[in-house]
Amino acid sequence: MTPARATLIGLTAIALWSTLALLTAATGATPPFLLTALTFAIAGVAGCAVAALRPGGLATALRQPPAVWAHGVGACSASTSSISRP
């Protein structure tokens, strides 16, 4: 990575962070969990689009060893089941 690209990435991060308060105030009475869900949905769609446009497509991006999948799915299942219990 070149220094110019790193600087541009840093400036973009600062610009996004500086708009946080403005965008949060603009949401008004929208429930926080709805905003979180919408944010993750937008990011997920954007991430899948970027992965699909790369060489090899989405299959290459999702190709991981079985141990990695077991760890990720197991962690999600364990956290969900511990929350669901009374």
Could you give the 3-state DSSP secondary structure of residue 4?
Answer: helix
pTM of the model: 0.55
52-78 per-position pLDDT tens digit: 888 888 887 778 888 888 887 777 666
Q: According to the model, what pLDDT value does residue 78 have? A: 64
Structure tokens at 4: 């110019």
Interatomic CA distance for residues 55 and 61, integer angstroms: 10
Interatomic CA distance for residues 15 and 19, integer angstroms: 6
